[in-house]
Structures are given as structure tokens and as C-alpha cells.
Structure 1
Amino acid sequence: MQKTAVAIAALTLLSAAVWWNAASVGNQPATDETNIAQGEQIIHHRPGSEKPGEPAVASALTAGRLDLTVVDAATGEPAPCRVNVIGPDGNYYEPDDNPLALWSLKRSGNREGKGPFRYYGWFFYSDGTCRVEVPPGKITVEVWKGFEYTPVVREITVGQGAATALTVKLQRGIDMTQTGWYSGDPHLRRNGDYDDARTLELMAAEDIRFSQILCFNLNRNYVPQMGQQLTPQFNGMGDASIRTQGIYTIGSGQEYRGSVFGHILHLGASRIVDANGLKTNTDNWPPFGLVADEVHSLGGISIHAHGGYEKEIYADFAQEATDGVELLQFAVYRGIGLEGWYHILSAGYRFPAIGASDYPYCRALGDCRTYVKLDATQPTMADYNRGLAEGRSFFTTGPLVEFTVDGKRAGEPLELPKGATIKVQATVTSLVADVQELQIIEGGTVRFRKTVNKDEQRKPIHWSLDIPIQGSTWIAFRAIAPGPDEREDVEAHTNPVFVSVANKPRIKSESIRWLLAKLDERIRLHESREFAEKPKVLAYFATSRKRLLERLELAE
């Protein structure tokens, strides 16, 4: 049964990969092949080694055997984790018999040209115990488990024909749940028939507390039946789909997709949307804002995927119809980018951003994720999604953040009198990648920077400032570092604290005008198209334009 499930999952991933490649033809900009090749070398080039390693199989005539056990130092129990086993030749070796083999880097993820651009090797996932055939000599073992565990590197000599045992203890370097922060990746895919226990084991290996597995439709074509979706989720949706193993939870969601309006995530809804029923053409009708109304009635939230692709998102946020934007992905800020998001915030909107990996169409499982501040003793997926929609979060490729403004956290309002000074405090701990710079962002401008010294890296970094505030604004925190060759790598960004001074609105006229220009581009696109629902779509966009103009009258 297990082999059958693996085969089904492999077939689904292959089919989806074929779909992605086909859908991308003609839509992707030309990319310098040398630049791509150099980026890929970064992923597989172990620091200090002469050249990148490759996946390899040890010769049966000379191989030795490594019996590897990885345990959690706190419990002594086997710990699911991510592992590299490197031979004396600098190449990478995997177990022959591994229930998590399908998700090793040579089989899943590892999307070319996508960050984070940092060393990953050629890892495999383990449930905590594995047996690896290796060439004789010095063997290097590297073990990771998400962003909160301290990575471990061990060396051991394995003789020809000999069996050698190694036990590695993994220590949680920081427990974010102690201060109420819970990790999640709300944009993952798998086959609906696949084993829930195996999926939960993968999430444990990357220490992702809340994960949402999405079904999705091909662009434009949509039939509101689960069996007609790619990667269908037959556990149901919403609360019915929840599965838990220890401290890890998975649930099912939907990515509703069109090529004209973009893609949008529906999280926590009790079923997939009807939209316009069997007549639905996701390029024409209904707009995402109206689909989001249905999602809300089903108990879910709607978040624009991939930075909204700079498409209908410019109409939906203006009507406060959708709940936020998936911004950090592949270690970059996609679609509207930071510039667009900052303008939305500076136009007076509370429009949270999140980070997610889009696995397996990314570099690695959970390489971008969102931490949400949850007050419940035993938080649920519904609590996590509510926190996403309320902006009580930060999103990251590794750095872990504590950030307050006069004691207020991300997503919270702060009321101040005129002439007030605020205390901004931040603590950053990054166990998996070095941070080089910290930033305090006010109203879309980097107001303060702090350079992180080498002797501070991989340790808690504390920063405290007293800042005079001139008027209503928003304040957020960011931690960054480029990877090798200045490529995208280390990113962490909080959602903002919203500061109101003397009850005056925080609206910038230049941001409204910037957003109007973007909206007008989309209106011109729809005016140039011919489709039956064109008058209704233009009316929807006209309403968005009216809402922005109303705010312009209140702007500074």
C-alpha cells in the first residue's frame, strides 16, 4: 500500500511539473544560462570544499555502511529531520530504503533559478533513523530541522565493508512557541490520496507547525468539484481536513487561479468555491473580490498568491474585499513587491503580507514561512489563519524575530498624542543563515539601519531605539543579508504596527496616486478585451477607483 501511495504521489508531482513547464513556455523572460548555472552551484557547493558535490551511489564492492540515528536532545526520541551524508569524494549519498525518499532534493523542489541561494547540498529527509551505503573514508553528516533547531555537523570514519553507527543529538536553539509564535507554510501541494502520517512526518522534519495543502485548477478552466482539481484533497476542506500528529497540523485549502486576474489562496473554507458554477471562466467572472465573499461565508480567508502577480489585487484591496497578499516567496518579494505593499499600507489600508514556499515549485520545503502570534494555549489551524488575516505575524527565510513598538506587536494599533516618542525594540535570532543588516521601516522608508557584526551572527541580536513620531504612520522591522554573489537569501519582515497620532488618518497622497496609476493599467487592459462580462468587470474596477479617490480627499 505504501509503495502504491508513493507511486501515485510521484505521478501527481510529475504531472504538475509538466503542467508548470508547459504553462511557462513563452511567458518567462530570457535568462542568462551562465547566471543560472552559477546560482545552482551555490546550492550544492559546501563551504570550504573545492567544488559542488553531486548525488552518488557507493560501489557495492567497496562500500561501508553508516547507521545514522538522529534524536531530539530534549526527549531522546528519533527526530524527523533533513540530512546530508557526504563521502570522502565530496558527493552526496542517500539511503536505499527510505519512506521519505520522494522528497529528497534530487526528486522534489530544487526549482532552478529560485532562492534562497544558500548551501543545501543534496539532502534527503529522514524519520530519525536510516542506513546509508557510503564509500570508505571520512564521512561528513549534516543535520537540520527547520529554523529553530541548531544545525549539527559531525564527522566519522567508515571502513570498507564495515558497519558504523552514529547518533546525532538535535537541540532546539530557540522555542518560538514560548512567546506565542507558531510557524506555518500555507502554500503546499501533494496528491490527495497520499498518506497523512507521511506528510506530517515531513512537516516535523522541517518543524512547520501549521501546513496547508492546496488543490488547484488550471488557469481559466474551473469546475467546482474536488475531483476536477489538480492535487485534489479528499480529506475535505476546513475543519474536516485537519490532521494532527504531535505538535504538527495539516489541513486542506485551495488555490483558485486565472491568467488575467492572478491566483488567490482560499484557506480554512469548508469547501472549494462555486464561483460562477460550471460557467466559471476565472479570467472573466467573477472577480476575486466577489469570490472572496463566498470564501468568507464558508469560514475562510482569501490571500492573493505570488504577490498578486500585479493583477486584480489592485482592485480587490481597494474594496477591502480580500485579506492579504503572499509576498515573500523564493526569498524575493513577488508581484507588487515591497514597493506596492508599502504604498497599500501608506494609503491607510490594513493589508497583511505573508510568506510561503509554494512547494514543490520552489527551492525547498518551507524555505519561506510565516510565524503568527497566537495567544491560545493549544492553537488551531483556524487560529493560525485568523492571525494571518489580522497581520499578527512575520515572514522569513530563516531569521526569527521579536518586535514591539511601545509594547505593541505586528498587526496591532498604537494610539499616541502629538509630540510622542516611541520605544522600538527588536530581537533577531538566526540559526540557519547569517543576518547582515537590520532595518526599522516607517511609512515605507527605511528610517534606521544597524549593521550586524560577524561576532554577533547566529546569536540573539538586540536593538532598541527611542524614535520621535511626527504623525500617524506605520512601523515595521526587516532583517536581511544577500547570499553568495549578492543573490537573494536571508529575509525576514514583520507586518506593521499601526500608529495613530491625535486620531488623524495615516494616508499619503503619493501612495494613493501610485495605486491609482496601477489600477488604471488594469482597467485599460480590460477595456481592450472582449468578453461577455466586460461591463460587470469594468464596473467592479470603477468601484475600486472610486474608493481610492475617496481616500485621496483624506490624504496628507
Structure 2
Amino acid sequence: MSGTLHLFVSRGLLGLSLLCVTVLTRAEAPGAEVGSVRLQIVGPGESGAAEPMPARVSLSGPDGEPVLPPGLPNWRDHFNCDGTVELDLDPGSYAYVVERGPEFTRSAGKFMIEAGKRVDLTVPLERLVDLPALGWYSGETHVHRPPSDLPLLLRSEDLHLAPVLTVWNRTSYWRDRPLPDQRLLELEPGRAYHLMACEDERRGGALLYFNLERPLDLDADGPEAPSPVVHLREAVAEQGAWVDVEKPFWWDMPTWVATGHVRSIGIAHNHMWRLGVLDNEAWGRPRDRDQYPPPRGNGLYTQDIYYRLLNCGLRIPPSAGSASGVLPNPVGYNRVFVHLDAPFSYEAWWQGLAEGRSFVTNGPLLVVSANGEHPGSVLQSPEGEPVQLEFDVQLWSNDPIEAIEVVRDGQVVHRIDDPDLGEPIRLDALHFDQSGWCLVRAIADVPETFRFASTAPFSIEVGEPRRPVHRPDVEYFLRWIDARIEAIEADPEGLLTDPSVRQSVLEPHREARQFFERLLGQAE
């Protein structure tokens, strides 16, 4: 017996659009207590014809609980597959969402399982845009998933690069394993992951280390001592590590930045979830919740701190990470796209990130040029003539976009509400008669979370090459460091009872204060 079932979904938390799918059912063994589904995900292949496509599936049963098939990578409410999966299911109504990163449409629907019958379900995905064809490749910097899952995770999330955090303080994947001969694993042209990344997370916040030759030894570290700066300097000097500040509001962030060794800082981070937000700053510097109300407050506070760093003349590119394996996100929910002028390579991607030829996102895809140049560019007028920037923007998204905004020296100076998606947009020219910076961001109209994209900054130098330093922002970080020093000296939990140990922990913060005092001497 066969029949047709039309699937439907209305706009909900994820901003889903209407989808109708034909499902064929046929009778199975009479009297069976369960039914089954064969789910096939298809998308455009190289020839343009539909073919099986790796993807992520969020499947919930009649009780609303997630269905997680054994043998496939899964986390919280979703699993990843190579394009086809067959499941035995109890009778009832099931709902699904299928996604493959932000470059593909999101598909969703429902189906009914009847005892003794099978559902054959084909779910189509379509491309919104092919960013690699435009030179943009995505990576993410905060992955806690098993290394053996990475090949399928990269394919099914359409992610090109990911270092895997195999050491997280006293948790080490290598404790009972020999170190691998190969740290960098390339799956195919355009996809690679690295096995030697570490997270050092303590009282002052979290630092991420990438491209290590060997794990950092964090076993003996306490909440405060030794200072994380000890490992930071060792990792850079001995292993040439890439150092990332996992998010800007960590108490030790200004101190880490002052070392000069921080290569990137996460502004699309793990407090931003696919279906909500982690609405606090954990043990970081808390925000003013009246100034930054939920659900966007944590994300906007994050960006404003980053803008203050830029206003101190510090050109640190933004990064993005999801903490999949710890927090509810899929791998690559928060990701950073880097523009390459040549074919993808692991090394070239990091070099592009270092130069700020990038944008971060957890949804919208935002490709921007200023006077024909990519983000990260320094636009100069050596003779001191004013610089006029003209922005060309293209924006794609599965969600409606509330606005595109231009941020200059930390302030929103231009806004376009309800911009067109997929069509070229020319923004009003921005006039610079003195040096500064600017970036473009897009904010999605998604009520339950902070979904956005932001370019890395463009730098503008008018006259003599210089990086403007804004006095209020330097003073902001001096007050921040003073509060951190005061908390360490008070030591209410008795973590630093040995005076010499306490002094060793305080020393990097005092050095950071000197760094910002020097900046204050350059401030306008």
C-alpha cells in the first residue's frame, strides 16, 4: 500500500519557511510495534544535479525529546550524517530541521510514523551562495568534540577548518595516548583540522592555543596561580602558538592583550546559541544590564569591548567559536570566514585571519568591500587628503535581517533597515578627514538569540601613518585592570596565601597597567 503525506512547517523560533515534501509510505510486517524512516538529504552536486549531501539533523519525537541515532556524531539536540540515515521509531508525530551551515537553505517539516510502516523522506537543501567560489572559507576556533568525529562534522557543517581542543586544563585526550605523528589532518582539498589545540580556562577567563607541536602542561595549575601569562609566553616562544582570547569580557583580557602575543579575540562566542543565549558573563567582568538588556545585551557588550580595544590602536582581528561538546551549539554555529586569493590551505587561512581579511557570523553571510578592498585593509592618504569610503555589500541569510549598520570608531554612524538579501547594496559614502577605523555588521531579526555578522575592521590612515588612541577607552581598561588587581590583593577565597605567589600573579597585571599608561600618553 502506498500514499502521500504532505509535510509542513510554519515560521517558528528558527525563522523557518514553509516547506512541502512528498513522503511515500508502504506496509511492513503486520503487527510490528514500530515503524521506520529512511531520511535522505540531497543538494546540488558539482554538476548541479541533486545528490546525497552531508548535513546536520535535529529530530524530535512525539514527546518533544531529541532522537539521536547510535553510531553517528551527535550532541544535545542534533546529529550529523553523510546524507542518508535509516531509523526505527515508535509510532507518532516527528519534527525535523535539516541544516548544512549558513550557505545552504534550512529545511524543516513533520512526518508521522505508523506501526509496521516505513516513511521514505527526501529533504532538499539549496545553496544560498557559494562563498568558496568568491574566495571565502569558514573555520571555527572552539571545538570540544571527539577528534574521530571531525571528518564528518566538517563535511556535514560545510566547515573548512577547525582546530580540536584536545587539552582543557586537567582534561587531556593525550593522557593515555601517544601524541600523533600527524597533527594536521587534511580530509580533502579545502577541509582540514588540527589535533593539537588547548584551552587554559581559569579565574581570569579562557585562552585558546592553536597549532601547537605538543600539549601545554596545565595539570598543576590552580584557579589563579601560576598566571596564565606564564603559559602564554612559553607557548609563543617555544611553539610559535596562535593565541586567541576566547571572549572579550574575561577579567584578564586586557592583561593578555598587553603582552602583544594575542592574535585574535572571539566576538561570536559560545554565549550565543542557536536557540537562545547564555545571558551572563560567567566569571568575567559583568555588564550593566540596564545598558545591555537581554537577549542581545551580552553580544552587544562583547562588541563594544572589542570596539574599545580598536580605539586603543590595537588591530586584533575577531574570531568565532561555538564550544560544541560543552554548550548546546553545533560545530560551526559561530564561525569566521577568511578571504584567500589562492586555493585553500590551512596555513593560508590563518595568515588571512591574521590580516583581518574576514567576517564572523552565526547566521548572516556578509561580504563587504570598501573602495574595492577587503576587511583588514589599511586605506591610506599619505598626503593628508580626506578619505572617502564607498562600501559594496552583499548579504545572504536564512533569517530576516533587521538592519545593516556601519560602525565608526565604536559608534553606529549609518543604518539600513530591512535590507534586500542577495542583491548588491551600495552604502552611503563615509568621509574620513582623520585616521580611524570602521566595520560593517548585520543583525538578524531573531527574537530569542543574538544572531549577527560583522566584518573585521577597515583601518584608515590620513596623513602620517598612525593608530589613533582614544583617551576614554584607555582609561576604561585602566579602571578594569585596577579592579582586577584589587580583587587579587583582597583574595577573599584564600587562593594566594603565599606572598611570593601572589606577587607573581599580580606582576602581569601591573605590567599591563604600564602598557595602558603608555597608551594614555599617546591618547588624543
TM-score range, shorter chain: 0.7 to 0.9
Question: Per the alignment, in what secondary structure is the counterpart of residue 183 of structure 2?
Answer: helix
- What is aligned with 2:71? 99
Q: Distance in 1 between matches of 2:139 and 2:132?
A: 12
Cα separation, partners in 2 of 1:73 and 1:60, compared to 1, 3 Å = farther
Contact 2:247 2:267 in 1 (8 A): yes
Mapped pair 1:294 → 2:235: yes
Task: Indicate the residue corresponding to 1:551 in structure 2.
Answer: 519
1:325–1:351 CA contact under 8 A, matched in 2: yes
Which among 425, 431, 440 is matched to residue 468 of structure 1? 431
Where does residue 505 of structure 1 map in the other structure? Answer: 467
In structure 2, C-alpha distance between the alignment counterparts of 1:155 and 1:258, rounded to whole Å: 41
CA drift at 1:153: 4.5
Aligned to 1:410, which of 346, 364, 375?
375
User: Is it true that 1:69 corresponds to 2:33 in the alignment?
Assistant: no
Cα distance between partner residues in 2 of 1:364 and 1:470: 43
Letter in 2 for 1:451: D
Alignment of 1:227-266 (within 5 A): 227-228=174-175, 236=180, 240-245=183-188, 247-266=190-209
Change in CA separation of 1:124 and 1:540 when aligned onto 2, cut-off 3 Å? closer
Deviation readout 1:19-61 (Å, 9 max, x if unpaired): xxxxxxxxxxxxxxxxxxxxxxx76998899xxxxxxxxx984
What CA distance in whole angstroms lies between the structure 2 residues aligned with 1:138 and 1:539? 61
Q: Determine which of 125, 136, 152 is the counterpart of 1:201.
A: 152
Task: Give the aligned residue type for 1:270.
Answer: E
1:491: how far off?
1.1
What is the identity, as a one-letter code, of the residue corresponding to 1:303? Answer: D
- 1:285 corresponds, among 218, 226, 230, to 226
Which residue does the alignment assign to 2:342? 376
Give how far 1:62 is off.
Answer: 6.0
After superposition, residues 107-118 of structure 1 pair within 5 angstroms as 108-109=75-76
Q: Is the 8 A contact 1:93 1:133 kept in 2?
A: no
Q: Counterpart of 1:270?
A: 213
Q: Quote the offset at 1:336 in angstroms.
A: 6.9
SS at match of 2:476: helix
The structure with the greater share of residues assigned to helix is 1
Match for residue 322 of structure 1 among 258, 262, 270: 262
Select 1:389's aligned residue among 348, 351, 354.
354
Partner of 2:132: 177
The answer to whether the 8 Å contact 2:371/2:389 transfers is yes
Query: SS of 1:273's equivalent?
Result: coil
Q: For residues 327 and 139 of structure 1, do their structure 2 counterparts lie closer, same or farther at Cα, with a shift above 3 Å needed?
A: closer
Q: What is the CA distance between 1:512 and its match in structure 2? A: 1.0
Shift in CA distance, 289/547, structure 1 to aligned 2, threshold 3 Å:
farther
User: 1 CA distance for matches of 2:31 and 2:252?
Assistant: 57
Kindly state the Cα deviation for residue 126 of structure 1 after the two structures are TM-superposed.
2.4
State the alpha-carbon separation in 2 of the partners of residues 280 and 159 from structure 1: 56
Do the aligned residues in 2 keep the contact of 1:269 with 1:295 (CA within 8 Å)? no
1:210 paired with 2:161, answer: yes
Contact kept, 8 Å, 1:482 with 1:488, in 2: the verdict is no
Single out whichever of 503-512 and 174-183 deviates more from structure 2. 503-512
Mark the CA change 1:289 to 1:351 in structure 2 (over 3 Å): closer, same or farther: farther
The change in CA–CA distance for 1:140 and 1:297 in structure 2 (over 3 A counts) is same
Deviations 1:276-300, CA, capped at 9 Å, x for gaps: xx76546222442762452354132
* Distance in 2 (alpha carbons) for counterparts of 1:45 and 1:411: 32
Q: Which has the higher strand share?
A: 2
CA distance in 2, matches of 1:540, 1:292: 11
Distance 1:305 1:335 in 2: 16
Report the number of matched residues. 467
What RMSD in Å do the two structures reach over aligned CA positions?
A: 3.5
TM superposition shift of 1:480: 0.7
SS of structure 2 residue aligned to 1:546: helix
**Does the alignment pair 1:421 with 2:366?**
no
Query: 1:73-127 CA distances to partner (integer Å, 9 max, x unpaired)?
Result: 224542111235578x6957848x6531x51xxxx246xxxxxxxxxxxx44322
Does residue 354 of the first structure (1) align with residue 315 of the second (2)?
no
Partner of 1:304: 245
The one-letter amino acid of 1:69's match is Q
Matching residue within 492, 495, 504 for 1:536: 504
Which letter maps to 1:326?
A: G
- Whether the 8 Å contact between 1:235 and 1:241 is mirrored in structure 2 is no
- Provide the identity percentage: 21
Query: The residue matched to 2:265 in structure 1 has which SS?
Result: strand
1:110-129 paired onto structure 2 within 5 Å? 123-129=78-84
Change (3 A) 1:335 1:490: closer
The answer to whether structure 1 residue 448 and structure 2 residue 450 are counterparts is no
Give the direction of change, closer, same or farther, for the CA distance of 1:132–1:92 in structure 2 (3 Å limit). farther
Q: 2:4: which partner in 1?
A: none
> Are residues 92 and 538 of structure 1, via their aligned partners in 2, closer, same or farther at CA, if it must alter by over 3 Å?
closer
How far apart in 2 are the matches of 1:215 and 1:150?
Answer: 32
1:343 deviation in Å?
0.9
Question: Following TM superposition, by how much is the alpha carbon of 1:310 offset from its aligned partner in structure 2, in angstroms?
Answer: 2.4
